[in-house]
């Protein structure tokens, strides 16, 4: 059980390095949805995504716990890797990041710019993850997982900021990759004693957590295919499944067409760039527009790291969805 003190300590440590991100009520989004919509702008962190919070805390604690460690390794589709690379540079550690072939070129470039050695291996995140574990053993590197209590405490600082600034939220929509963000939001909600519904969002092309939520146990899939690379998980974490089942109000599934429409809506209504995972909560809220009408809701815009060519193609698509306001 994570306590409010756990999250407050984590937030204090993180805020020594980066400021809180804003939560903004956008009138055009409110008009589009018919609910009072607040956006938690994790696309405004120094790496453009919420993952930095967890990486900063995890590596700071690792450095204190294991002062002789010299290097870390992680697997990623981009944002976790940027987090680890940035935090490693701050703590004087080398960082090796494993990504699957065909990964985002711009996320790869960002990780290299942070000083990381980049290895491309496998066709998806799970293959990269398993290879990273092997390289960690061979090279004597510390493997930084994608789900861990330290990561939850770190990323939970965004939820602490959100709930501290916006009272009376009826619901918060959070995308699911490996589960740290959703689990953190649930844990902070519980630590504060709030009754806000926390709703997880899964990509239709990466349904492992939705299948697991329904089955009551981890259910892996054979493949993933989605524009939302930050949600492209096919092997869920058992602890995350348990925490999500215990605390999430429901899980919603959004397809790529809905995600792309939400990316356009974010840019049109707020002029913010949202990558696929970052836009998924808005896509889910639009699904539940009738249910949430008149409510006060928050969306976690987890990141804005989308390649220029992909984002240009999304913006150039038929904008008929704008008439849905």
The answer to whether residues 204 and 99 belong to one domain is: no
The answer to whether residues 188 and 290 belong to one domain is: yes
pLDDT score at 321: 56
Residue 234: closest CA among 201, 200, 207? 207
Task: Find out whether 143 and 173 touch, Cβ atoms under 8 Å.
Answer: no
- Residue 56 belongs to what domain range? 51-143
Strand partners, 57: none
Task: Find out whether 244 and 215 touch, Cβ atoms under 8 Å.
Answer: no
Task: Find out whether 299 and 282 touch, Cβ atoms under 8 Å.
Answer: yes
pLDDT score at 123: 93
The answer to whether residues 73 and 19 belong to one domain is: no
Q: What is the CATH number of the domain that holds 289?
A: 3.40.50.1100
pLDDT tens string 157-212: 999 999 999 999 999 999 999 999 999 999 999 999 999 999 999 999 999 999 99
Q: Where among 110, 143, 176 does a domain terminate?
A: 143
- Give the Cα separation of 167 and 200 in Å (integer): 20
pLDDT tens string 115-163: 999 999 999 999 999 999 999 999 999 999 999 999 999 999 999 999 9
The answer to whether residues 172 and 117 belong to one domain is: no
Task: Compute CA distances 181 → 135, 148, 175, 222, whole Å.
Answer: 27, 11, 8, 24
The answer to whether residues 71 and 161 belong to one domain is: no
Span 93-101, average pLDDT = 97
pLDDT score at 78: 87
The answer to whether residues 132 and 235 belong to one domain is: no
The answer to whether residues 292 and 309 belong to one domain is: yes
pTM passes above 0.85: yes
The answer to whether residues 185 and 126 belong to one domain is: no
The answer to whether residues 249 and 161 belong to one domain is: yes
CA angle, corner 181, sides to 298 and 307, nearest 5? 85
The answer to whether residues 236 and 284 belong to one domain is: yes
The answer to whether residues 216 and 313 belong to one domain is: yes
Provide φ and ψ at 118, rounded to 5°. -110, 130
Q: What contacts 307, CB < 8 A, 6 or more positions away?
A: 104, 105, 106, 107
């Amino acid at each position: 059980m994570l306590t409010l003190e756990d999250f407050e300590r984590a937030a204090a440590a993180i805020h020594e390095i980066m400021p809180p991100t804003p939560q903004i009520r956008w009138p055009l989004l409110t008009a589009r949805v018919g609910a009072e919509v607040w956006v938690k702008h994790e696309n405004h962190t120094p790496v453009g995504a919420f993952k930095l919070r967890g990486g900063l805390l995890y590596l700071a604690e690792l450095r204190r716990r294991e002062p002789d460690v010299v290097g870390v390794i992680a697997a990623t589709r981009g944002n976790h890797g940027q987090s680890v690379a940035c935090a490693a540079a701050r703590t004087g550690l080398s960082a090796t990041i494993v990504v699957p072939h065909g990964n985002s070129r711009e996320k790869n470039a960002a990780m290299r710019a942070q000083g990381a050695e980049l290895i491309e291996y496998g066709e998806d995140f799970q293959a990269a993850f398993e290879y990273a574990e092997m390289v960690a053993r061979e090279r004597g590197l510390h493997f930084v997982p994608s789900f861990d209590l330290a990561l939850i405490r770190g990323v939970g600082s965004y939820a602490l900021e959100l709930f501290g600034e916006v009272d009376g939220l009826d619901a918060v929509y959070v995308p699911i990759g490996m589960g740290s963000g959703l689990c953190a939001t649930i844990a902070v909600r519980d630590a504060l004693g709030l009754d806000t519904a926390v709703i997880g969002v899964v990509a239709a092309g990466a349904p492992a957590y939705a299948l697991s939520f329904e089955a009551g146990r981890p259910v892996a899939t054979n493949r993933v295919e989605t524009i939302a690379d930050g949600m492209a998980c096919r092997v869920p974490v058992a602890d995350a499944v348990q925490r999500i089942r215990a605390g999430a109000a429901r899980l919603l599934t959004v397809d790529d067409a809905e995600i792309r429409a939400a990316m356009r809506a974010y840019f049109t209504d707020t002029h913010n760039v949202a990558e696929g995972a970052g836009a998924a909560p808005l896509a889910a809220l639009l699904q539940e527009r009738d249910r949430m009408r008149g409510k006060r809701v928050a969306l976690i815009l987890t990141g804005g790291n989308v390649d220029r060519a992909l984002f240009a193609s999304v913006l150039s698509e038929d904008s008929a969805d704008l008439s849905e306001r």
